[in-house]
Chains A and B, each alone.
Chain A
Amino acid sequence: MWTWFYKLASPPHVYALAGTLAPWFLGLAALTIGYGVIDGLAFAPPDYQQGDAFRIIYVHAPAAWMSTFVYTIMAVAGAIALIWRIKMGHIVAAACAPIGTSFTVLALVTGSLWGKPMWGTYWAWDPRLTSELILLFLYFGTMSLRGGFEDAAQGDRAAALLAVVGVVNVPIIHYSVVWWNSLHQGATVAKLGKPAMDPSMLWPLLSNLLGFMLFFGAVLCIRLRGEILNRERQATWVRRVVSL
């Protein structure tokens, strides 16, 4: 029963698995993001305060959510790799970092574009914005630490440790709007039971959130394959796969 689980630690198995999963993730992501974007941009009613400008939430909120989600996955993968010495963990962490960086940049850029009409400025030194920026620097730190060592295995472990240390930032980002009197609006979706949003606005957002996660899954699968091939290039199974 546990064999499928143990197999996740084996690069050739994950290489094949990622190959089968990637098109599914990509297809489902296209469906959900497609629905979310069309319904969110064209059919959802405009906000009573923010008008049509609120529609950027359909990109901004999922991207911001993914930036911390990917970081958490990266840190958990790093912790697994450090504790049980599973090299797949390092491979997952290495594949996550650039994707997470992209989501963070996307969240920051869309956020500042949203900030201009709403707050009158592209950037405010506000807790949520600042902690998101710290997250971006942490991503940069782990990536350059991984590349900084001559011994790749050492770089992997160092980057994993930094990712684990940086996890303290994730709850800070999440609760920054609650703890500090912030310019950034409070949570609208995460109130279980009774969201502060009308269903007609909420469904496209949730669909986009799911779509972003599926898209992350797809890109992760593709990056994992590349990362595995690069790291295992001395192995005979890679030669067999590549020479096909």
Chain B
Amino acid sequence: MSVGAWEAFWLIVRRELRISFRRPAELLQPLMFFLIVTTLFPLGLNLQLALLRDMAPGVLWVAALLSSLLSLDALFKSDADDGTLEQLALCGQPLSVIVTAKTFAHWLVTGVALVLVAPLVAMALNIPGFAFATMMLSLGMGTLTLSWLGAIGAGLTVGLRRGNVLLSLIVLPLAIPLLIFGAAATDRAIAQIDATGALYFLAALCVLTCTLAPFAAGAALRITLE
């Protein structure tokens, strides 16, 4: 039976989502990490609210990057361990489609969840409510871009026994522009300045990775599977 690329995409997405929801503990871990890291900052800053407000966008974005990175390590790991990845690679669909499906599913369970939790954290960090929309939009695009960058890194390091440190070394430098524009957008929204420029930059990065990263990540997986 031959399956079209689009159908294969949704089949894999559904499979990934089902697996994720069967392991709720793993699903919640990055979110818990995000909450805990952002809670540590106010305590470390001795509850100076003004300082906290200035630092909030940076804290939020760094925490989001780190928690997303935490879950990226597992993106291909379990499938590579039990041989599913090889079966998927042999199933006749282009690897880029398979990678796209897996990355999209990963973003749905980590990125979108993170965006939904963000207002709670933002309130704790003293970010005013009118900045929430810009913050959530920028985080949404940012986490999708990050999932893509991470897919390249995870594809390259999946064959390694201790790949997660290397994964951070590969992904974080590439994620720096993301951090700059993401934090700038949130910062500007808090200061009630027009944040469109930074949001456009984020959107450009997002489009760039969504279109080019599938091929890079597919090539990365092929190297590891060889």
Contact = CB atoms under 8 A, between A and B. Distances in A.
B55 interface: no
A213 interface: no
A43 interface: no
B29 to A, nearest CB: 25
Contacts of A164: 216
Interface string A136-155: 01101100110011000010
B216 A165 contact: yes
B216 A158 contact: no
A140 B219 CA distance: 21
A145 B176 contact: no
B123 interface: no
Main secondary structure of the interface of A (DSSP, over half): helix
Interface stretch (B112-120, B135-143, B158-166): B158-166
Given A145-B166, A149-B159, A154-B226, A161 B172 contact: no
Name which of B156, B163, B216 has the most chain A CB atoms within 10 A of its CB: B156
A148 B160 contact: yes
Interface string B173-211: 110110010000000000000000000000000000000
A161 B219 contact: yes
B156 A137 contact: no
B75 interface: no
A134 B176 contact: yes
Interface of A: 82, 130, 134, 137-138, 140-141, 144-145, 148-149, 154, 157-158, 161-162, 164-166, 172
Interface of B: 152, 156-157, 159-160, 163, 166, 169-170, 172-174, 176-177, 180, 216, 219-220, 223-224, 226
